[in-house]
Every structure is written in C-alpha cells, then in structure tokens.
Amino acid sequence: MSVLPLAILTPFTFIILTLFIKNVRTRNFLSVTLAIINLGIAIYILSAVNSSEMLKTQMGSWPAPYGITLVADRFSAFMLLMSAVVFLAVTIYSVQSIDYERLKNNYFLFTYGILMGVNGSFLAGDIFNLYVWFEVMLMGSFILISFGGERAQLEGAIKYLILNLISSLFFVAGIGILYGKMGSLNMADLAYKFSLTGDFPSLFEPSLILLLVGFAIKGALFPFFFWLPASYHTPPPAVSALFAGLLTKVGIYSLIRIYTLFLHYYDYFWNPIILWMGILSMVIGVITATAQFDFRKILSFHIISQVGYVIIGLAFFTVSGLAAAIFFLGHNMISKTNTFLVAGWVHRETGTLNLKNLGDMFNRNTLWGVLFFISAFSLAGLPPLSGFAGKYLIIKAGIENNQILVAMVALFVGLFTLFSMVKIWIEVFWKNTPKQEFSEKELPKAKYLPFGYMITGSIFLALAIIVMGVWAEPIAGFCEKAATDLLNNQKYINFVLQ
C-alpha cells in the first residue's frame, strides 16, 4: 500500500473525530497531535520520494488515464513538507490565540478542511481532481474567513468569496473545454497528447488561458491580485497566517505544474505572459505596500510581490530558475506565516494593528521582537536567513539566463521590501508609544505572557527559517533535483502512464 493517501486521510480522520467529540480541550489536543502526525507523514513521503524518484497511487486500482491518480514527485513532496510545517505551527498557535467561542464552534474542523484540500492539490495527478481539492480548500477558507461574523470579516469575506468563485468558474470551464478537445483529464496523459500535437496552439489557447487566469486569481498574480489585500487583514490573525502560508501557494504550485507539463510546448506565447506577470506583481505589490499603515495590510501586499519572485523563476525555465522558484516558495511560506503570527501577538497585546498607534513593543516582550526580526528580515533577504538564499538563487538564475534587467528589478524590489520591513520594525517595535491623540481609548496594559502555545508555534517557524537559511545548500540541491524532474516532463509522463 502506498503512503500517499495517508496525507489526505489524516485530516479526514480529524474531521470525523471532531464531529463526535464535544470537549474543546480534547479537540485541541487531538488537532495538535494530528498536525504532528501529518508532519511525520510529509517527512516520510519526502524521504521515500528522495530515494525512489516518484510515488504514485492509482485510486481504486483503476489504471492511469482512466482512474484517479495521486502522484508525488520531489516538488510535491517538498511542498507537502512545507505546508505541514506551516500547518503545525499555526495549529499550535491557534490553541491559545483563537477565542473560546470559535474553538467551541469547531474552528479546527475547517483548518483541517483546508489542510485536506492543500495536501490533495499537491498530490493530484488528475486535473479535475485538482479542481475538487481546490474547492475543498476554498470551502474551508470561506467558512474560516467569515467565522465569527464581525463586520470587517464579513466585508472581507464577500470580496474574497466572489473573486475566488469566479476563478473557480474559469478553472472548471477551462477543464471542460480541455476535456472536449483532448478527451482526457489525467495530467500526464494530457501532457503526452500535447507533445504529439506539434505546432497548433490556437485550438487549445481558450482552455489554457482560462486555466491560467483561474490559477492567477488563486495565486494573486499581477492583474488579478486585488482580492488579497482587501480580505486577508480581516479574519483573526491565526486564520490570516494560515491563508498567507497555504492558499496562494497552491495556485502557484498548480501554475508551475501545468506550465512544466504542457504550457511550455507553446513557449513563445506563454513565456512573455508569465514573465511580465511575475515582474509586474513583484513591482506593484511592493510599491503599493509602502503606502499602507496597517501591519497585516503591508504583509498582504508583500505576498503579491513575493509570489512574483516565484513566477519569474518559473519564467526563466531553466534548472537554476525553477530550483530557485521552488526554494523561494518554501521560504516564503514559512517566513510570511511567521510575520502574520507576530502580527497576531501584537493585536492581542494592544488591540490594534495600525502602525501609527503602536510602538515600543520590543520592550514589552523581547522574544517576540526577535521572532519578528528573524521572519521579517528573512523576507527582506538578509543573511543568514532563508530569504537571502532564496533571493540569491533567483538573481543568480536571472543573470545566468541573460535576463540582467529582470535580476536588477528583483534586486530593487528587495530593497523596497527591506524598506517596508524596517518601517514595521521601527514603528511597531522601536519607537516610543505615541501620545493618546491618535487612539481614543487607552491601550491595555502589558500582560505578562507566559511561555504559551502562541510563542511555541512562532519559535518553531523561526527555527525552520534559520535551518532553511543555514543549511541552504542541501535544500537547494534537493530543489535542483526537483527542478530537473520538472523540466524533464517525459519522466513524469512515463511514470504515471506505465
């Protein structure tokens, strides 16, 4: 029996158990335990994939182009591991951070729904199956974003909901047209059929454009990003940390998957689109972030800009570019989530996230300050943190690929990222608390926060960032192997269809 279904069955088990269990403490305990088990499974899949190249499961023993296939190559295994790390940290954090009312209303049921969707999308070898996992993930996120029913949350939820539904419709319409043209839904089979068609792109462009737009909305790429900063700052901080870590990355993962499997056959058409989407997301995300004065809003805009780095790595379409993209994706998941976790702590301490009203948080709790420093400056790309290695790889790939201008843009965007992070650092942690003229009510007094669940989750992620920065070389080597596999899509096709 293959191990792959366990990655989906573990969250499913939790969902069943939590419907029977009424006690909140038992549920919390169970959720943390299963998150650890999920991490264990992800590590096991990674090591298995590393030794045997790829794994697959044919659900129901139906052979490949007809049945539903689960495939894990190095890239999916890496993404599974990263999402498991993020999920474990956010789960530990949520136990303390989420209020009792939400926990009682089965908060963890929906986070595990998201985990199930995310794991499923990383493993899906069938494009309609990918859509179904997307919907599982989206249903969980729809409920979480409106969970609790505060006014701001509902406004964010409506924006998030409508744009994501439209992206799902694009996606599924694209799948329908693709099926009509190719007569298959298995991604390996599709790629095989595309490789036979030769130079005749116009038939497929409508469906592929629909797919691309669907993924670009999910992944918040340049012309379609506006839903993200409008909604990610509204739910409770733990929820926005989870969203920031997992949701957009699944869209990017799918984009990389379909690009390497079949879009690249019509490279002359798709490559400039992808490249410009990446560059513009990078630049526009980071420039709009400078004008913001809300902690989580700045971070939300930075999600867009960092997704752009991954996409230009993909657009180079060389081993070094794709390896850099994969590394950067992993780095971005953990660093971004951790900054949101720190934002959650600031919110809990002071009740506001407006930079103008905040200040002097470093003196309140030094450890949280250090945690923010690690994650934010990892985003900005300071050595020896993971962001430095990620940016270095991207820019090196750009120079090797003769895209000097793109590499320059990436460097300048890094500068602006540093500016935003320094701004948050100074405004929130460094400067003195401003006088009362800004905030109407008195800030609550500093609470003594014991060594609780929140800080454990955050420390766990910070350690992951440091590990990824210091031991960047073996990880980058692994990413390089993953990129080689991605570029050699014949291997994937043969493995799935054999």
Partner 1 sequence: MELILAIFIGLLYACGVYLVLRRSIVKVILGIFVLSNATNLIIFLAGGIKRSGAAFIAEGAEKIDPATISDPLPQALILTAIVISLGIASYILALKYKYFEVTGTHDLDQLSKTDQK
Partner 2 sequence: MNNNNFKNIILENIVTLFMKVMVIYSFYLLLRGHNNPGGGFIAGIIASTGFIFFAIIHGTKALQNIIKFQPQLFIASGLSLVFIAAFLPVIISKEILTGLWIQTKIPVWGEFHLGTPLIFDTGVFLVVIGVILTIVISIMEVLKWN
Would you tell me which residues interact with partner 2 (CB under 8 A)?
1-2, 5, 9, 12-13, 15-16, 19-20, 57-61
Q: Which of 91, 121, 146, 288 binds partner 1 (CB under 8 A)?
A: 146
Q: In angstroms, rounded to a whole number, what is the distance separating the alpha carbons of residues 61 and 315?
A: 37
Is residue 314 within 8 Å of 253, Cβ to Cβ?
Answer: no
Quick note: the x/- pattern for partner 1 over 280-319, rule CB under 8 A, is -------------xx--x----------------------
Q: Considering beta carbons, is residue 54 or 228 the nearer one to partner 1?
A: 228
Please spell the DSSP secondary structure of 381-437, one letter per residue: T-TTSHHHHHHHHHHHHHHHTT-HHHHHHHHHHHHHHHHHHHHHIIIIIISPPPPTT
Q: Tell me the window of 2-10, 161-169, 211-219, 394-402 that interacts with partner 1 (CB under 8 A).
A: 161-169
Q: Considering beta carbons, is residue 116 or 333 the nearer one to partner 2?
A: 116
Query: Considering CB distances under 5 to 8 angstroms, the limit depending on partner class, which of partner 1, partner 2, none binds residue 422?
Result: none
What are the C-alpha distances in Å from 138 to residues 115, 250, 397, 440? Answer: 11, 11, 34, 38
Q: In angstroms, rounded to a whole number, what is the distance separating the alpha carbons of residues 320 and 476?
A: 10
Q: In angstroms, rounded to a whole number, what is the distance separating the alpha carbons of residues 127 and 141?
A: 21
Q: Which of 77, 79, 90, 177 binds partner 1 (CB under 8 A)?
A: 177
Q: In angstroms, rounded to a whole number, what is the distance separating the alpha carbons of residues 487 and 364?
A: 50
Contact between 272 and partner 1 by CB under 8 A: the answer reads no
Q: Considering beta carbons, is residue 144 or 455 the nearer one to partner 2?
A: 144
Q: Considering beta carbons, is residue 159 or 396 the nearer one to partner 1?
A: 159
Which tokens go with 459? 């420390």
The strand ranges marked E within 29-172 are 55-58, 69-72
Contact between 24 and partner 1 by CB under 8 A: the answer reads no
Q: Considering beta carbons, is residue 2 or 436 the nearer one to partner 2?
A: 2
Q: Considering beta carbons, is residue 57 or 254 the nearer one to partner 2?
A: 57
Burial of 63 (0-12, 13-18, 19+ CB in 10 A): exposed
Q: Considering beta carbons, is residue 174 or 308 the nearer one to partner 1?
A: 174
Is residue 125 within 8 Å of 71, Cβ to Cβ?
Answer: yes
Query: Considering CB distances under 5 to 8 angstroms, the limit depending on partner class, which of partner 2, partner 1, none binds residue 400?
Result: none
Q: Which helix (H) or strand (E) holds 166?
A: helix 151-182
Contact between 234 and partner 1 by CB under 8 A: the answer reads yes
Among 146, 148, 150, 173, which Cα is nearest to 162's?
Answer: 146
Query: Considering CB distances under 5 to 8 angstroms, the limit depending on partner class, which of partner 2, partner 1, none binds residue 156?
Result: partner 1
Contact between 218 and partner 1 by CB under 8 A: the answer reads no
Query: Considering CB distances under 5 to 8 angstroms, the limit depending on partner class, which of partner 2, partner 1, none binds residue 149?
Result: partner 1
Q: In angstroms, rounded to a whole number, what is the distance separating the alpha carbons of residues 7 and 284?
A: 36
Q: In angstroms, rounded to a whole number, what is the distance separating the alpha carbons of residues 121 and 33?
A: 23
Given the rule CB under 8 A, which residues bind partner 1?
A: 128, 132, 135, 139, 142-143, 146, 149-152, 154-159, 161-162, 165-166, 169, 172-173, 175-177, 179-181, 185, 230, 233-234, 293-294, 297, 354
